[in-house]
Structure 1
């Protein structure tokens, strides 16, 4: 992801925290909420510019968070654990189901640099020209552009909530000069917000952005030292293919041992070794069909 690098502060032990006045202010008017969302987005931009933040992993985990929100919009009960299972435990020929497919759509949207072609791969139900038209609907500041894109999609395709939210996040990324999408709005919006229009929708998007930016900054601060620790213990791993396995763990929300570039038994032993070293966590709490991640 392309951000202005801030190497001159890379020696700090922690990432800069979101200012307390952003998180504690009680704003009601569109103007005041827009001011807070601008401050939150600026701070997020700074945090995402830090070299120690594992960008691909962060986007993948945010894709999971966005998928969970969208699944709830549909009235389904699947949460993070079920969504991970639906995608990571798929066997050849299996279908992921509606919830798993929602997660896969978000994952496809965040894994490549933004382009009409890559968005077309993530959203195959829509023609590339239509996607470009919706993105062009937005004008002005980042969140305003996102709200306008969101409204444009949902006006023409009222049931395309996931596509609309992906394109709204894309509008934010483009406005800020980011070359990859960062899922922000879905987790902060309510189902009822998606039926709003005009200033009401803009207000909802600004509020969602504030809450989501706070969470993304928190998650970045959590993942950065975990990623650093995994990199630090990597030289201790002797298994052939361990380096590629570590790279997978540094870029994905979760992995099943069977997907690592090692024989099954060696992959399980590697994951157990990394857990013992405090470098990764077992995410399911199960004895079988386990998943691992930072």
Structure 2
């Protein structure tokens, strides 16, 4: 299936709609599980070639989902709304707390092109040499390499679930020649899957990638439509700095008015204006300390 970069946005959902046979039960035979994960990844890969998808925003939102899954694995109660608060409402000098640290690690992991240095920035407690060793898996298909990285980290650091999942997604990205980490494994795996090894872990990773890649494709199509709407209303915004504010909304999952390049009152007015235009949503339901996102 192919398309040109001139396809209208209203056909994007049809072009990138994941075929139903990918999500239909096909049994647990290893060849079926591996085939479906490869098919799901191929559709997600197509997205990287479409100009309409806000890739940084997609990665940031997937990072939030991955962080939410990791926090749940650790037994903590925080969910997406609390993680957004932990990251977006921090004041200078504040510490994000354990759940916020997990969210910060994932955000940093997806911000920059994948490299040992960038991963070291996301996982500052790990040595760069150790990260390089864990990712030095050049044999096997992409999901197999991701599972091998995941197993290697957990074998040496059994409690380092967050780091293991970040590095597993990094191994997947490298195997697929993706420029950035795209969080897929954490949101698709179960807590018990992390204690599997060998063949069982690879099967769990294939299943996780299939489910997460399908969901990421749907999310990408939705964000492409929402981004097109935001870009369409941008010329109507008269506030100085509105253009830069729009670019921030197109790269971040959630934005506090104070993070926009406008005076506080003007930033709040701009956010309310964008909500009225249907271009962004208020994400918290609160009257104060609001957060907004595409």
In the alignment, structure 1 residue 10 sits paired with structure 2 residue 15? no
Per-residue CA distance 1:38-92 (angstroms, 9 max, x = gap): 1111111112321101000000000000000000000011111000001101111
Q: Who is 1:276 aligned against?
A: 276
In the TM superposition, 1:42-191 aligns within 5 A as: 42-137=42-137, 139-191=139-191
Rounded Cα–Cα distance in structure 1 between residues aligned with 2:116 and 2:7: 34
Per-residue CA distance 1:158-210 (angstroms, 9 max, x = gap): 11111111111111111111110000000000111011000000000000001
Q: Who is 2:250 aligned against?
A: 250
Equivalent pair of 1:139/1:148 in contact (CA under 8 Å):
no
Residue 6 of structure 1 and its aligned partner are, at CA, apart by 5.0
How well do the aligned residues superpose, as a CA RMSD in angstroms? 1.2
Rounded Cα–Cα distance in structure 1 between residues aligned with 2:25 and 2:182: 25
In the alignment, structure 1 residue 41 sits paired with structure 2 residue 41? yes
Unaligned runs of 5+ in 1: none
Per-residue CA distance 1:16-55 (angstroms, 9 max, x = gap): 1111000013321111100110111111111232110100
TM-score normalised to the size of structure 1?
0.96
Rounded Cα–Cα distance in structure 2 between residues aligned with 1:136 and 1:285: 45
Q: Who is 1:259 aligned against?
A: 259
Per-residue CA distance 1:228-284 (angstroms, 9 max, x = gap): 110111111111111111000000000000111000000000000000000000000
Rounded Cα–Cα distance in structure 1 between residues aligned with 2:39 and 2:17: 12
Unaligned runs of 5+ in 2: none
In the TM superposition, 1:194-205 aligns within 5 A as: 194-205=194-205
Residue 12 of structure 1 and its aligned partner are, at CA, apart by 5.5
Residue 11 of structure 1 and its aligned partner are, at CA, apart by 2.8
**Aligned residue pairs: how many?**
290
Equivalent pair of 1:143/1:206 in contact (CA under 8 Å):
yes
Residue 93 of structure 1 and its aligned partner are, at CA, apart by 1.0
DSSP 3-state at the match of 2:250: helix
Rounded Cα–Cα distance in structure 1 between residues aligned with 2:49 and 2:214: 16
Rounded Cα–Cα distance in structure 2 between residues aligned with 1:279 and 1:137: 43
Equivalent pair of 1:65/1:80 in contact (CA under 8 Å):
yes
The answer to which of 8-17 and 18-27 deviates more is: 8-17
Equivalent pair of 2:9/2:228 in contact (CA under 8 Å):
no
DSSP 3-state at the match of 1:7: coil
Equivalent pair of 1:137/1:152 in contact (CA under 8 Å):
no
Equivalent pair of 1:188/1:212 in contact (CA under 8 Å):
yes
Residue 8 of structure 1 and its aligned partner are, at CA, apart by 4.7
Q: Who is 1:237 aligned against?
A: 237
